[in-house]
């Protein structure tokens, strides 16, 4: 009789690795990561996989963890299974068992050495701000309704451009992070106004805990002219975490996609979230006077 370790190793060598691209409505979950309390995306997904493949040790590994209320348009996940279900059929099989808040858009087989998190060379997030005066029920679940003033997207864009490169972003790290340092590389930034919608995208090699929501909160303060660009730059360059007191709400944030050296999915470049709205209004909010601090 073979030792248990050898049997385990033999079984593991027969497992196939499957990569998933999935979308989810984060408002229904306590975040991606499995929690002792609350319903997580990881927990729901792993139960659905286990129902279809009860003999495999299922662990779903994501490209990036999302907090409670944060959505995903192109989250990437891998897991190992015994191969009874063809890799390209996992998407339809899982969609038949998952709640409507989670949908698998594609499933493919990948090498056993490929890792959804460790193989990623970037993650990209999008934040959506609705800057119209009147509430819009069709956007309320997916955006931050900031209606007091017309946001100055030009100064917000300048602030983002100044953050490109490898820097210490301690000012935008929430308490509770287990990272040994707060350095990361912001690779690309994008800000566009479409009528009353402001679309902000940030791509980085990695993100700190709570980074995007804290950053967007300060960008909005800048866009409302509550302080000037010099103050914003000193805030993060001097790592003044204690002065960052406002975070944007989770519901406007989307994990847009993760990037890899080799193309994993057939539609990896087309992930999006929100229809291509271009909202406008006849009575935009007005900017307050500039306050220099």
pLDDT score at 7: 36
Question: Has residue 175 been placed in a domain?
Answer: yes
Residues 187-208 have a mean pLDDT of: 96
- Looking at residue 291, its pLDDT comes to 47
- The answer on 82 and 210 residing in a single domain is no
The tens digit of pLDDT for each residue in 133-170 reads: 999 999 999 999 999 999 999 999 999 999 999 999 99
Q: What is the pLDDT of residue 292?
A: 44
Residue 282 lies in a domain: no
Residues 103, 152 share a domain: no
Chain CA centroid to CA 230, Å: 28
CA gap 49, 112 in Å, rounded:
18
Are residue 33 and residue 81 in the same domain, yes or no? Answer: yes
Residue 100 in any domain: the answer is: yes
Is a pLDDT exceeding 80 seen at residue 13?
Answer: no
Closest Cα partner for 214 from 247, 171, 252?
247
Do the domain assignments include residue 280?
no
pLDDT at residue 4 above 80?
no
Q: Are residues 223 and 148 in the same domain?
A: yes
Whether the per-residue pLDDT at 281 is higher than 90: the answer is no
**Is the predicted pLDDT of residue 64 greater than 50, yes or no?**
yes
Sequence length of the chain is 293
| Domain at 230, CATH number | 3.30.70.660
Per-residue pLDDT band for 14 (boundaries 50, 70, 90) equals: confident
Concatenating the DSSP letter of every residue in the chain gives ---HHHHHHHHHHT-EEEEEEEEE-GGGSSBSS--SSS--HHHHHHHHHHHH-TTS----EESS--BTT-EEEEEEEEEEE-SSS-GGGHHHHHHTTS-TTEEEEEEEEE-TT--TTTTEEEEEEEEEEE--SS--TTTTTTSEE--SS---HHHHHHHHHTT-EEEE-GGG--TT---S--EEEEEEEEEEEEBTEEEEEEEES---TTHHHHHHHHHHHHHTTSS-HHHHHHHHHTT-GGG------GGGEEEEEEEESS--STTTT----S----B--SS---PPPP---
Any catalytic annotation for residue 53? Answer: no
Same domain, 152 and 183: yes
Catalytic residue among 25, 53, 67, 80: 67
pLDDT above 70 for 53: yes
In terms of domains, do 37 and 11 share one?
yes
Whether 281 maps to a domain, the answer reads: no
130/100 same-domain check = no
Find the domain containing 103 and state its range: 4-110
Whether the pLDDT of residue 213 is over 70: the answer is yes
Q: What percent of the chain has pLDDT over 70?
A: 87
**For position 3, what pLDDT does the model report?**
42
Is the model's pLDDT at 263 over the cut of 80?
Answer: yes
Say whether both 157 and 256 belong to one domain.
yes
Pair 52, 181 in one domain: no
Of 51, 75, 110, the domain-final residue: 110
pLDDT, mean of residues 240-244 = 94
pLDDT at 45 over 90: yes
Q: Please report the pLDDT score of residue 97 as a whole number.
A: 96
Has residue 212 been placed in a domain?
A: yes
Residue 247 lies in a domain: yes
Checking if the pLDDT of 282 tops 70, the result is no
Domain count, the chain: 2
Note the pLDDT of residue 287: 60
Which CATH number fits the domain that encloses residue 93? 3.30.70.580
On the CB side of 214, CA atoms within 13 Å amount to: 23
The residue that leads in pLDDT, 21 or 263, is 21
Same domain, 74 and 133: no
Same domain, 79 and 158: no
Average pLDDT value for residue range 59-64: 96
Query: Same structural domain for residues 106 and 134?
Result: no
Rg value, the chain, Cα: 21
* 252 within a domain of the structure (yes/no): yes
* Domain termination site, one of 65, 82, 110: 110
Q: Is the pLDDT of residue 276 over 80?
A: no
How far is 230 from 242, CA to CA, in rounded Å? 17
Cβ neighbours for 18, distance < 8 A, ≥ 6 positions apart: 78, 79, 80, 81, 87, 90, 107, 108, 109, 110
């Amino acid at each position: 009789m073979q030792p248990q370790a050898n049997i385990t190793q033999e079984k593991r060598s027969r497992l196939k690795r499957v990569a998933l691209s999935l979308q989810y409505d984060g408002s229904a979950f306590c975040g991606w990561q499995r929690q002792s309390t609350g319903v997580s995306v990881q927990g729901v997904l792993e139960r659905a996989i286990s129902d279809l493949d009860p003999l495999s040790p299922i662990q779903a590994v994501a490209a990036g963890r999302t907090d409670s209320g944060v959505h995903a348009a192109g989250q990437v996940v891998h897991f190992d299974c015994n191969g009874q279900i063809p890799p390209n059929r996992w998407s339809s099989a899982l969609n038949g068992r998952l709640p409507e808040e989670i949908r698998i858009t594609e499933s493919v087989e990948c090498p056993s050495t490929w890792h959804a998190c460790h193989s990623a060379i970037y993650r990209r997030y999008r934040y959506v701000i609705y800057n119209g005066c009147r509430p819009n029920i069709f956007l309320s679940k997916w955006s931050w309704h900031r209606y007091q003033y017309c946001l100055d997207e030009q100064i917000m864009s300048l602030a983002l451009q100044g953050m490109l490169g490898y820097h210490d972003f301690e000012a935008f790290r929430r308490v509770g992070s287990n990272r040994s340092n707060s350095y990361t590389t912001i690779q690309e930034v994008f800000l566009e106004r479409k009528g009353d919608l402001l679309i902000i995208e940030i791509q980085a090699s990695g993100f700190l805990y709570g980074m995007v929501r804290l950053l967007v909160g300060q960008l909005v303060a800048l866009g409302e002219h509550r302080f000037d660009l010099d103050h914003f730059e000193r805030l993060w360059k001097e790592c003044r975490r204690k002065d960052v007191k406002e975070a944007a709400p989770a519901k406007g944030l989307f994990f847009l996609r993760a990037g890899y050296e080799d193309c994993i999915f057939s539609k990896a470049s087309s992930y999006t979230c929100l229809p291509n709205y271009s909202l406008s209004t006849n009575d935009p909010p007005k900017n307050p006077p500039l306050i220099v601090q």
